[in-house]
Structure 1
Amino acid sequence: MADRSFSRADSTTRPTAILGTCFHTPAYGSFEMLEQALIELDDHGVIERVTTPVDPAYRERLRSAREANDRKPGYLLELDKDEVALPGFIDLHVHAPQWPQAGIALDEPLEVWLNERTFPLEAKFGIEARGSSLGSSFTLPVYQDLVQTLLSRGTTTCVYFGSADVRGSEALAKTCASIGQRAIVGKVVMDDPSANPDFYRDTSTEQALAETEGFIAAIEGHSGKCAANDPRFPGIYPAVTPRFIPSCTEAALSGLGEIARAHDAYVQSHCDESQWQSSVARERFGKSDAEALADFGLLKRKAVMAHGTFLLDGEAEIFRTTGTALAHCPISNAYFGNAVCPVRRIHGQGVHIGLGTDISGGFSPSLYDNIRMAVMASRILEDGVDARVPSERRGANEPSRVSAAEALYLATKGGGEALDLPIGSFEVGQSLDMQVIDLKRPFADLTGNGVFTRPADQLERILYLSTPENIRKVLVQGTCVLSRDDR
């Protein structure tokens, strides 16, 4: 039997203090630049104190930190003059087994993309359960490459759909734990024989529910029950994962809701992604997608529903009252969403919203690309797209624009709120998840040659122009899990 143990990343590369300039968004709608701030951590990698140069205690605290670094090299991580830090990104929606097909067949109709491309690919990850050598030669390398790629793009926390195979999904969780990325992982449930191909589905509702229970036990057991419930732990959390209403029987949806309640587990699924998906719940249950999911107990605190492109006002209210969060996937929506998600309106209704790449419905593993697309899509929604329609009727009949700072909030603190975890900003009590950005890399200079020096200009250049080459270090819970020190 394959090793099912889960381990934490090595914590020996964990500084106790960081000195440098940091950008973050502690509140939606604005950003803050902490210039040459000293960020001090506790033993768990949680921010204990943030001291800026205007603080009377700054000089003394900095002197103490540097003296401690002389005694114990590595105590203080001091950013170079051309480096700044952003919070680690939080990707709320990734289909991990689809990584090999990212960027492929996006011009196909959804049913072709799913049935001829996606489902056959995801089915490959079940071969590990049958003892084939493909498990070691295919599953683990794919997942290792995916997790490392996401970290290299600054993503420190990720919400993953695994495959319908429980062993393959455990392999994904183990990979995240060993590399050091915080993750929420779910074994996908798709049990309806009339809606899923014979070669890729749960063999029965009973099997789907039993394997979901077993998956939760495996993650909680090997991570440590207290660790799995401790927000200071940069670990792996299990998620109840119905693929979406069209793929599941009523019995499975009901049973998964009961499991989610019994374990206070995360829930992830799709809601109102497209015109077709929104119509299925109404045809089957006479209810909207959100109403049906809520009635099955699948909308709750720590539930993340992807897309919401067709989320109506009444459905947004269900999200708000249940504490359910929305994963906005702007690149994917351009291909399969049939509309632009009204982020500004839904957020204004009190719904927690973060960003997702939706690999591989979205081609890019980078939340930088999705930050950019979130801004552009919001402009398209507000202004409209058909020049033949008069301007007063061309776009949305409400303000819809999302700013770059607001999109950064969605990728960071908004994601933390969605997951009910203290992550996403450089505030006291938050886990120190950080990406260190070099502004002056060859062929990737973000400085603007000193022409634009306002903090807002500097941040926008970072958000719009950063490449993976600019990201030199990535820290999760204070532990350095990626470093490109080549100077």
Structure 2
Amino acid sequence: MKAFARVFQGTAFTARSPKEIEILKDYLFCLNEQGVIARAIAPDAADYASLRDAYAGTAQYHRLAPGQYLLPGFVDLHVHAPQWAQSGTALDIPLYDWLHTYTFPLESKFADPDFAAEVYEDLVSALLANGTTTALYFATIHKESSLLLAEICARKGQRGLVGKVVMDDPAQNPDYYRDADAASALADTEAFIVAVKALAKTAKQGVYPVVTPRFIPSCTDEVLKGLGELAAKHDTHVQSHCSESDWAHGHVLARTGKRDASALRDFGLLGDKSVMAHCNFLDEDDAALFAETGTAIGHCPISNAYFAGSVIPIARWIDKGVEVGLGSDVSGGYSPSLYDNARQAVISSRMLEDGVDPSLPADARGVPASRITIDEAFYLATAGGGEALSLPIGRLAEGYAWDAQIVDIALAGARLPVFGEGEPLHEIFQKIMYLVRPENIREVWVQGERVHARA
């Protein structure tokens, strides 16, 4: 019998497709030394009982308790790591004012590595406690503290994709917080890429450097072109903001004569390892460009409710073949939980479909065929995020990393309303997605290693 590093026994929920949840009842999940699922074995398999019995009672065997279920770890496609220090602050003012009054002054403090360490240590722990096993991070313009974030991810066991932010345009950025010029921004970015790739050799789960222009309004053409060239040279992921708000979208159009998506493409910043946050003002041509290049949308529903001035038609873009995952956008989004963001994704889609202006007749109030279900939102938080990053994560299936949450619905003080015997498992899954709180997440695993546990 083949030796496995770990064997888990329990019922799991995983996304087979954007609209289909697969329920794996009482499966065995057998992990290899690399923390990858080598086999997922159904109870009716010929060797199920013999393999279970061989491992039962050993340190490698983990059987879930009654009331516990397995979900894939969440993939957060948009986190502003330094902004964890201001989460829940000043969400009542416009985006431009919010950035210049609160966000840029805060991010400038990350020149101090001690301050950066305090915030980043707490953030990574908080995200793991909320079931987020992979996070795509904006750091700050500071190379040293950005590398520190990657080091913290590596040490704590989270799969971190980290970008040193670039913002060099003196016309749009404050004197106290910007790259000195395009040349230094590009040099620091390349040094950061090399350092993170070296660090990745010591991290089982992987850490990754990300080319990160904040967004076109904050960057000169010279630096945007250079960043596209660096991404190609080093084969890195790319992230930025795209068409987030009326102001940002209009600024790019006025400056470049192009829509945001086309401008990003021309700078070499769209591709199958690119994730663009928000994208609320894409049109049909933009979406086709995203689908053609493999560029993904990081959908941030809570943040969009505060700053975007619109609801993005996620259902339509998925139908057009655009890859979409979910992002918290800490701190434009106040919650670090992708459970909260999945719920808001459903709510926002319903509001888009049904409309919000009661002065209009019902049949003219909304945008038809816009709603998504909680099943689809779960896909965005898991498999959709993995596909957006072109990594084998986000599913509990053979060949995928063992990134998993163990959720307890029978926990004293946080019990979910499941009564009696025989409630359909799909209904239990829906209750988990709508009602779970952080205390229900008992353990979190990344690449076969336990990285979070509650007593």
Quick check: TM above 0.5?
yes
TM-score by length of 1: 0.91
Matched AA of 1:254: K
Task: Report what 1:131 is aligned to.
Answer: none
Q: How far did 1:447 drift?
A: 4.6
Kindly report the root-mean-square deviation, in angstroms, between the aligned alpha carbons of the 2 structures. Answer: 1.3
Task: Report what 2:239 is aligned to.
Answer: 268
Report whether the alignment pairs 1:454 with 2:444. Answer: no
Contact 1:191 1:202 in 2 (8 A): yes
Q: Aligned ranges for residues 309-320 of structure 1 at < 5 Å? A: 309-320=280-291
Equivalent residue for 1:32, pick from 1, 18, 22: 22
Contact 1:95 1:160 in 2 (8 A): yes
Secondary structure of the structure 2 residue equivalent to 1:148: helix
CA deviation digits over 1:402-441, x for unaligned, max 9? 1111100000000000000000111110001000001111
Q: How far did 1:284 drift?
A: 1.1
Report whether the alignment pairs 1:185 with 2:162. Answer: yes
Task: Report what 1:171 is aligned to.
Answer: 148
Secondary structure of the structure 1 residue equivalent to 2:16: coil
Task: Report what 1:414 is aligned to.
Answer: 384
Equivalent residue for 1:140, pick from 108, 117, 140: 117
CA distance in 2 between partners of 1:346 and 1:452 (Å):
37
CA distance in 2 between partners of 1:190 and 1:460 (Å):
42
Contact 1:15 1:76 in 2 (8 A): no
Report whether the alignment pairs 1:99 with 2:76. Answer: no
Task: Report what 2:252 is aligned to.
Answer: 281
Contact 1:186 1:240 in 2 (8 A): yes
Contact 2:87 2:330 in 1 (8 A): yes
Secondary structure of the structure 1 residue equivalent to 2:387: helix
Matched AA of 2:192: F
Contact 1:15 1:479 in 2 (8 A): no
Q: How far did 1:61 drift?
A: 1.5
List runs of 5+ in structure 1 lacking aligned partners: 1-13, 129-134
Equivalent residue for 1:290, pick from 261, 274, 284: 261
Distance 1:281 1:112, change over 3 A: closer
Q: Aligned ranges for residues 245-256 of structure 1 at < 5 Å? A: 245-256=216-227
Report whether the alignment pairs 1:114 with 2:99. Answer: yes
Task: Report what 1:150 is aligned to.
Answer: 127
CA distance in 2 between partners of 1:172 and 1:285 (Å):
33
CA distance in 2 between partners of 1:447 and 1:408 (Å):
20
CA distance in 2 between partners of 1:442 and 1:289 (Å):
50
Contact 1:447 1:458 in 2 (8 A): no
Distance 1:106 1:147, change over 3 A: same
Equivalent residue for 1:467, pick from 437, 443, 448: 437
CA distance in 1 between partners of 2:302 and 2:200 (Å):
33
Secondary structure of the structure 2 residue equivalent to 1:469: helix
CA distance in 1 between partners of 2:441 and 2:95 (Å):
34
CA deviation digits over 1:200-232, x for unaligned, max 9? 0001110100000000011012323xx78xxxx
TM-score by length of 2: 0.97
CA distance in 2 between partners of 1:260 and 1:351 (Å):
21
Equivalent residue for 1:194, pick from 171, 178, 183: 171
Q: How far did 1:282 drift?
A: 1.1
CA distance in 1 between partners of 2:420 and 2:163 (Å):
46
Distance 1:62 1:452, change over 3 A: closer
Report whether the alignment pairs 1:435 with 2:409. Answer: no
Q: How far did 1:452 drift?
A: 7.1
CA deviation digits over 1:144-176, x for unaligned, max 9? 100000000000000000001111101111111
Secondary structure of the structure 1 residue equivalent to 2:419: helix
Matched AA of 2:446: V
Task: Report what 2:199 is aligned to.
Answer: 222
Task: Report what 1:84 is aligned to.
Answer: 69
Q: How far did 1:63 drift?
A: 1.2
CA deviation digits over 1:441-471, x for unaligned, max 9? 1221125223771122101110000000000
Q: Aligned ranges for residues 346-361 of structure 1 at < 5 Å? A: 346-361=317-332
Report whether the alignment pairs 1:241 with 2:212. Answer: yes
CA deviation digits over 1:348-395, x for unaligned, max 9? 110110000000000000000000000000000000001110111100
Q: Aligned ranges for residues 332-411 of structure 1 at < 5 Å? A: 332-396=303-367, 398-411=368-381
Secondary structure of the structure 2 residue equivalent to 1:379: helix
Equivalent residue for 2:45, pick from 51, 55, 58: 55
Q: How far did 1:15 drift?
A: 5.5
CA deviation digits over 1:80-107, x for unaligned, max 9? 0111010000000000000010000000
Matched AA of 1:465: L
Task: Report what 2:10 is aligned to.
Answer: 20
Identity, % of aligned positions: 50
Contact 1:97 1:121 in 2 (8 A): yes
Task: Report what 1:257 is aligned to.
Answer: 228
CA deviation digits over 1:110-169, x for unaligned, max 9? 22211110000000001x3xxxxxx32x21111010000000000000000000111110
Matched AA of 1:419: L
Q: How far did 1:328 drift?
A: 0.2
Secondary structure of the structure 2 residue equivalent to 1:123: helix
Task: Report what 2:55 is aligned to.
Answer: 65
Contact 2:199 2:207 in 1 (8 A): no
Distance 1:351 1:414, change over 3 A: same
Q: How far did 1:305 drift?
A: 0.2
Runs of at least 4 residues off by over 4 Å: none
Contact 1:272 1:289 in 2 (8 A): yes
Q: How far did 1:276 drift?
A: 1.0
CA distance in 2 between partners of 1:287 and 1:189 (Å):
21
